Each structure stands twice: as structure tokens, then as C-alpha cells.
Chain A
Amino acid sequence: MFAIKLYIKSMLVQIKGNQQYRFNYFLTLFTVVFHYSVQLLAIWITLSHYDSIRGWNIYEVSFIYMFFILSYGIMITFYAGFRDFSGMIHNGEFDVILIRPHNPMLQVMSGRLELTSFAQIGSGIFLFFWCNHYLEIHWSAYQIYLFIQGIIGAAFIQAALLLLWSCLGFRITNTSALTRFGWTLNANYLTYPLGAFNKTTKLLFTVFPLGFISYYPANAILDKDHFAFSNLGNFSGIIGILFFMLVYLFWEYSIRHYKSTGN
């Protein structure tokens, strides 16, 4: 309980601190929106020339992309500390965290509240209404459940991914290549229907659950592809949480075997 109180207090400090640099804040929002707009424009250009990919049209593919942005925005609001984690190991900040009598993960999270994630969340919501308008999804209670659990699962998987890179950061000093790899993979490839790749790739991103960030939950709602494990999309929330717990165990293990680089 005490830990949560501390966490909330640190968040309030962050919000106040953020108001110092208004111009930079809005510039960053605009930059992030610009970044995603270009990505989307690339998808739209491709799909306005070619009509569809494996039977998925422009709105359906955008719907997959929406899952990626929205869940990323929600996740990074609270989890930005782990995005910049390798810096904390380099400058020894993490050593300080380890000697304090609180949960290390919570401490790293408390360090950062990413308010620029409004840009991702805003873009995601805009995209949601835009797709929804053209796709005419019938929103029954079950569909709403699918959507919410899909977003939760996606946020947990993306968080788990950041945590996993952080764990690897204990061994490899330069993880920026890996971070970039994960980012490009999620943003440029996994926002297409997985069927567009071959069977091996599909299986790989099902076992290592990156496909559950956007493709599986979108497929569950839109009810497009049917194959042996397409039903797994109905449970992507649970899968996401399980995957996060697994990575969290690995995180605890990594901390126990961590040797600082400092003197």
C-alpha cells in the first residue's frame, strides 16, 4: 500500500514538472503524431494501389495498426522508465535503486510518467473511430469484451518486451540495436495480417507472442482469418498477462545475478 502511495506521489511531481516546458511538450506531441501519420500513409498508399492483403482491406489493416498505437500509448505512459533503462545501468542509477527497500520495478516506473503518450492514445482513438465508421462493426457486449481484453493484453506484451530488453541490458551493454529491432518489427511488419508472411513466421510470432499485440485481437473482433489457433485471439488478454509474468520472473532472476559495471 505504502509503495502505491509513493508511486502516485512521484507521478504528481512528474505532472507538475512537465508543465515547465509547454512548448517542448506540444512540439513532442506533434512530432509523435507526425511519425505515426507517415507510417499510416505508407500503409494507405500501398493499399490504395493494391486493394487488399490476404483479404484485408485498408480499414481492416488500419484497425490492426490502431491496436498497436493505442496499446503502446497506454503502456508507455506508465512504463517509460524501462524504455530508457539501459541509460540507468550506465550511469549507476540502477545501483541506487537496488539498495532501497522497495520493489525495483516499481521504482524504475516511478521515475517516469510519459505524458507525451497523449499523442499515441489520441491517434489511436482517432483511428479507432475512423475505422469503426467504415467497418460497421456490430458492438455487442462480447465484442466490447474482446476489444478491452485485446488492448490489455497488447499493453502487457509491449511492456514485457521492454522489460525483456532491460534484462538483456544486464549482459549486453549496448541494447539499442535490439530495441530498434523490436520497434521496427512491431511498427512496420506486425501491423500487417500475419497470414501475409509464411507459415514459419506466423508460428514464430504466435509462440513468441508478438502477434498478440495487434493481429490476433483485431482478427478476433473482425472475425476474418480462421485457422488452427485463430481462437487464441479471444484470450490475448490472459496470454499477455502470462507472458508479462514470465518475463517478470526472468527480471527477478537477472537482478539476483546482476553485477554492477561501477566501482
Chain B
Amino acid sequence: MTRSLYSIRTFYYIARQSFLNSMVFRANYFIDVLIDIVFIYLSIALWSTIFMDNPGNNMVSKPELITYMVLARIAARIDMGFVMEVQNRILNGEIASDLTRPLSLKFYHFSQEVGSYLNNLLIKVVPIFLITNMVFDLKWPPSIYQTFLFLISLLLSFFLVFNLNFIAAIMAFWITKLFSLSVFKDQTIRLLSGAIVPLWFFPESILPWVKLLPFSGIVFMPINIYLNKTTNEDIITTFIVQIFWIIVTSVIGRYLWNKATKRISINGG
């Protein structure tokens, strides 16, 4: 009991520190927000045109499509900052000193990422969404209950992305070309999660397979819940698929981590 209380406190302090650290770079912040707004503007212009040019093919309404594009760009975080840090520490050997610490590496970085994600949500996602909402007709969730379900699914999405990123980070023990690792990870997630193109437009023949993969739970499914395009059964399926993959990726991550750390103890000395 005291032990778990202790780790909750540790989690809180690390997360808070990371939250505050993200506040430091003000100049970067304004550039980032400006860039995001430009991209959102271009995305909306592009998809509105595609939407209007093909009146027969639309399975969603225009506000739904626009809202999807805005949320896909800002809500889910695909690339996490700790990946590069861990990979570099693995390559230059500093990871060995992390192993001697009383806190597990995964737990430490998880707490950090929670802090910076919350910061991101507060100072970027919400303001950008509100600014966009002033100019364009964005959709809001139909009820508080639906908003709550969306937030749960976004939370699960965060866990999933973290686990996938953790696997990519410790893959640096085997693949030393970090550029390749990050391209494979980011591009796969970006395409199959629906971050670039919504899964609505994927060909019917491959869609069921794509939905079974872990990636759709990162962007596509949470936004579908937000847009109320899901039945109750769909929502339950979404949660089950998300939780299933969170468990699988944790197990894989733990297995790889044990294997890697065993290797270090053999080589070190």
C-alpha cells in the first residue's frame, strides 16, 4: 500500500516537472501554433474541395470531415520526445546508469510524457481547436456522456502510442540506424491510424484487417466516438481492441526490455 502510494507521488512529481518544463520555450510555442494553424487551414481547404467535387461518394458530412482533419492533426500524439532520448542513451552507453536507478526507465518516461501531453492539450490542442472553431463550422460531441467516452478512448490511445514508442525506443539495442527506426514507426502509425487519410476511405477489402491492427485505435476510433458515428457496440469493440493491444504491446515491450538488459549484463563489466 505505502509502496503504491509512493509511486503515485513519484509519478505526480515527474509529470508536474515535465509539464512545467514544456512551458519554457515560448518563442518555439508561437511558431509551432502558427504552423499548426497554417496546416489545418490548408487541410480544410483541400478536403472541402475534394468533398465538393465528388458529391456522390460522401459517407460523411462536410463538418464531420473537417472536424476529423482538425482533430487528427492535433489530438493524438504519434511521435514522443523520449524515444530519441532513450535511443541516444542506448547508443552512447549511458543507458547503463539508468539501470542502476531505483525507478524503472519505462515508468519514468511514462510519467514525463503524461506531463508534457497534458501541457500540450492545455496550451495547444484546446486553443487551436477553439481558434479553428471561430472560423469554420466544427462539430462538437452530442453529449457530456459522449465526451466522456471520447476522453477515455483518447486516454487509451495515449497508452497505446506510449507502448509502441517504447518498443521503438529500445529497438535501438538491435538496430542502430535511428533514422530508419523512426521513419518505419512514424509512417506506419500515420497511415494505418488514419492520421493522414481517414479509414472511411480505405478500400472495403482491407478495411477489416486495418481495424484489427493496433493503429486504428490511436486516431481513427477515438475521433469516430467524438463524431458520434458509432453505435454502443462499436464503442465497446473499440475499447476492447484498444485494451487488447495495450496489453500485447506491454508484454512485447517487457520481453524486449528483459532480453536487452540481459545482453548488457553479459557484455558489460
Contact = CB atoms under 8 A, between A and B. Distances in A.
Nearest to B187: A38
Nearest to A37: B187
A28 B35 CA distance: 29
A49 B57 contact: yes
Interface residues of A, number: 36
A35 B46 contact: no
Nearest to B54: A50
A27 B177 contact: yes
Contacts of B197: 42, 45-46
B53 A34 contact: no
Residue with the highest number of chain B CB atoms closer than 10 Å, among A34, A45, A48, A55: A45
B201 A50 contact: yes
Given A24-B177, A38-B187, A181-B35, A45 B202 contact: yes
A111 to B, nearest CB: 19
A253 interface: no
Contacts of B94: none
Contacts, number: 85
Given A31-B180, A52-B53, A42 B46 contact: no
B179 A51 contact: no
Q: Is the interface of B mostly helix, strand, loop or mixed?
A: helix
A177 B57 CA distance: 37
A189 B177 CA distance: 29
Interface residues of B, number: 30
B212 interface: no
A24 to B, nearest CB: 6
A7 to B, nearest CB: 26
B45 A198 contact: yes
Contacts of A192: 46
Contacts of A145: none
Contacts of B35: 177, 180-181
B49 interface: yes
Given A177-B35, A196-B50, A38 B190 contact: yes
Contact of B180 (A27, A53, A180, A188): A27
Contacts of A50: 50, 53-54, 57, 201
Interface of A: 24, 27-28, 30-32, 34-35, 38, 41-42, 45-46, 48-55, 174, 177-178, 180-181, 184-185, 188-189, 192, 195-198, 201
5 contacts: A31-B184, A38-B191, A45-B202, A52-B54, A201-B42
